[in-house]
Amino acid sequence: MFRDALLVLNKDLRVEARSRIALNQILPFALLVLFLFAFALDPSRGVLERATAGLFWLAVLFCVVLGVGRAFALESGDGVIDALRLSGLDPAGLFLGKAGALFVQLVALELVLTLGVVVFYGAALHSVALLLVAGLLATAGLAAAGTLYGALAAGLRVRETLLPLLFLPAVVPVLIGATRAYESALADQSGEGWPWCNLLAVFAAVYVGTGVLAFGPLMEET
């Protein structure tokens, strides 16, 4: 299972390294969102500073929707799905590989976004350990949930409209937990932020577990 996962992960990352869709389109979009938030919320009144954590994770959520769409667009053309099914890869490995590739790309994106909120919103990174742990757990949950809902909507003509409707309400717990954890980390009160990591860990565990179990049946016949 893990060997298959590594194969798929490498494949997806190699495709990205050569096509650079995420780098050239999704990453600029994420930075654009930071600017749009600044236009919507007047930067001079301190609203941006107070809302930085939430806006950061909202920008990430929008990018996950795009990233998942991209991850499954890779598999939708030229009978790739059939080829994957014939390849004998373990579906659980396939899920972990796709989610893993998404995870890696999201972490890279978040690093750039973090730099963005430091530069543009004047955020101060007080508790780096909490930022790291909460960020990684939240990203794991988002990648797993995104891959699962992406598979549910994969190969369908309505994918672009259906995925946000399925995915965004489902990841509300991640938005809440990660925002609270980041808020306290940015305000240098990390004691209040650590408990939220439990919620993020439970969410990630539930979705990784569900994905490992459900990906096989989802890939068959679709």
Cβ–Cβ under 8 Å, residues 205 and 146: no
- By C-beta, is 7 or 166 nearer to other proteins? 166
Residue 10 Cβ vs other proteins, minimum distance, rounded to whole Å: 27
- By C-beta, is 23 or 176 nearer to other proteins? 176
- By C-beta, is 91 or 116 nearer to other proteins? 91
Residue 153 Cβ vs other proteins, minimum distance, rounded to whole Å: 7
Residue 92 Cβ vs other proteins, minimum distance, rounded to whole Å: 14
Which residues contribute to the site for other proteins (CB under 8 A)? 148-149, 152-153, 156, 158, 162, 165-166, 169-170, 172-173, 176-177, 180, 199, 202-203, 206, 210, 214, 217-218, 220-222
- By C-beta, is 39 or 82 nearer to other proteins? 82
72-76 LR contacts (CB < 8 Å, sep 24+): 72/150, 72/151, 72/153, 72/154, 72/155, 72/159, 74/12, 74/15, 75/154, 75/155, 76/154, 76/155
Q: Which two tokens stand for residue 181?
A: 């954890």
- By C-beta, is 123 or 200 nearer to other proteins? 200
- By C-beta, is 136 or 176 nearer to other proteins? 176
Residue 161 Cβ vs other proteins, minimum distance, rounded to whole Å: 8
Residue 193 Cβ vs other proteins, minimum distance, rounded to whole Å: 11
Residue 53 Cβ vs other proteins, minimum distance, rounded to whole Å: 13
